[in-house]
Amino acid sequence: MRIRFFNPPVFNVVGQHYRLNQAVGGPLLSAILRQTGHDASYVDAEALRWNLNRVADYLCKEGVEAIGLTVTNLNWEASRQFIAHIKGHLPHIWIAVGGPEVTARPADARMLGADCVAPGEGDASIVFIFEDKPGYYQPDGVVRDLDSLPMPAWEYSLPLPTKYMGNMPRFESPEVCTLWNRGCAHKCTFCSNPVFNRVLIRERSPGNILEELRKLKTLGAKHIFVYSDELIGMSPRQAEWLGQVCEAIIKADLGLTFKTQGRCSPHATEEVLMLMARAGFKAIMWGIESMAPNVLQAVKKGITPEDVWATLEASHKAGIANWGFFMVGMPEETQADFALTVQALAEMKQRGLLQWQQVNICTPSPGTELWRQATENGWLKVSIPSAARHFHQVPVMEFPYASQQEIKTRLAVLQAL
């Protein structure tokens, strides 16, 4: 069967083009299907700047029989328009949808118009889905052994992974995105990870990771964005595994550099950070969110301001640059709480502990605990936040302790520091 996984064009919905990093899911699912004899690959229509007519022309020329879409908050409406266009012009093509938004609200996903709605982690069931073509299928459980999965079919992707800009902070080019682990044991109220029941922590072996890095280097990659929500900082066991990975990379001497995301905690030890620096890690993006203890507790972040300071200092000492993710407009955030974050952020930059910051407005996603809280307490001021209008830069909630205008002001203050 000729199958294509698509990232639909979102420019006409969102108002800007996105070409930062290639997704990992489509190339990985393509590789699984290729093992069973299917002609499968990933096409990023947004990165290619294709409109829907150009997509239809491609499908006709390639003789595509089935399509898979990973639906996110950003491309929900774009996916609906994509499906409607393809069904209107090429009704014989079978379409399945999955991904985070489908998992969070599978009933709503039926309204997208696809032939199959497939929530959950689909690696083990993707062959069944495309060969048996059910109308709805939710796999039971997750892949426990990540080494059992094939390398993503990067070389069949359009465009190739080395043709992307890469996200900030930028270092060597080309930059390619990869994933070394899955799962998170934490329960942040704003995060969709618990929606996937991805509390099972799983890591790829050092040898398996090296195999992919060699493949990416062959394709021309020079910098690797290890796109894990928390590659470091979750547990002592994770720190031991990451140390082993770094030692393998140092020994292999591949000449690649890296950046990743991490969790501020006592488990982000100076020892493992030093190993990361020797392996070529240049920056870590830390999810700080707030420096007010009660706000961190309200969103169940599971860290303290003391954890943040200690982690930034250890990373800085190791020679790794720090990027901080912050949010405004969170539950319990009063003006006094916000002032603590302003003061701390200014000090971090003055002391050289923080090189960059990214500030977003806390935006609830359907299926998360924050979404439940927002709907139950009347905080939500729109029905479902649309990425086209509210992509974390426009407030969609209002609290007794922070109006929408106050949230806008806080966003501007932190962004200006």
Q: Is residue 369 within a helix (H) or strand (E), and if so which, with residue range?
A: helix 369-377
The residues, ordered by sequence, that sit 6+ positions from 310 with a Cβ below 8 Å of its Cβ are: 264, 266
Task: Give the pLDDT of residue 385.
Answer: 54
Asked if 149 contacts 263 with a C-beta cutoff of 8 angstroms, the reply is: no
Tokens at 39, concatenated: 């002609």
Does position 390 have pLDDT exceeding 80, yes or no?
Answer: no
Tokens at 335, concatenated: 């003006």
Rounded to whole angstroms, the Cα distance separating 89 from 126 reads: 26
Highest mean pLDDT: which of 15-24, 227-236, 245-254? Answer: 245-254
Does position 338 have pLDDT exceeding 50, yes or no?
Answer: yes
Summarised one tens digit per residue, pLDDT across range 173-188 is 999 999 999 988 888 9
Residue closest to 10 by CA, chosen among 21, 19, 1: 19
What value does the mean pLDDT take over residues 112-126?
A: 93
Rounded to whole angstroms, the Cα distance separating 5 from 36 reads: 16
Rounded to whole angstroms, the Cα distance separating 343 from 326 reads: 13
- In whole angstroms, what separates CA 321 from the centre of its chain? 21
Q: Name residue, tokens 């300071």.
A: 309
* Domains (range + CATH), the chain: 2-132 (3.40.50.280), 166-416 (3.20.20.70)
Asked if 66 contacts 127 with a C-beta cutoff of 8 angstroms, the reply is: no
Q: Would you place residue 84 in the very low, low, confident or very high pLDDT band (cuts 50, 70, 90)?
A: very high
What value does the mean pLDDT take over residues 260-272?
A: 96
DSSP 106-170: HHHHGGG--SEE--S--TTTHHHHHHH--SB---SS--S-GGGSPPP-GGG-BS-GGGS--PSSP
Asked if 221 contacts 255 with a C-beta cutoff of 8 angstroms, the reply is: no
Does position 389 have pLDDT exceeding 60, yes or no?
Answer: no
Rounded to whole angstroms, the Cα distance separating 95 from 115 reads: 5
Interior/surface letters 381-401, b for 16+ CB within 10 angstroms, e for the rest: eeebbbbbebbbebbbbbbee
Rounded to whole angstroms, the Cα distance separating 287 from 219 reads: 31
Which segments within 165-280 are labelled E, that is strand? 175-178, 181-182, 202-203, 223-226, 257-262
Q: Would you place residue 289 in the very low, low, confident or very high pLDDT band (cuts 50, 70, 90)?
A: very high
**Looking at 158-162, 198-202, 392-396, which range is the least confident one?**
198-202
Residue closest to 118 by CA, chosen among 68, 77, 66, 184: 68
Bridge-based pairing of strands 202-203 and 223-226 is unpaired
Rounded to whole angstroms, the Cα distance separating 347 from 345 reads: 5
Task: Give the pLDDT of residue 194.
Answer: 60
Task: Give the pLDDT of residue 388.
Answer: 46
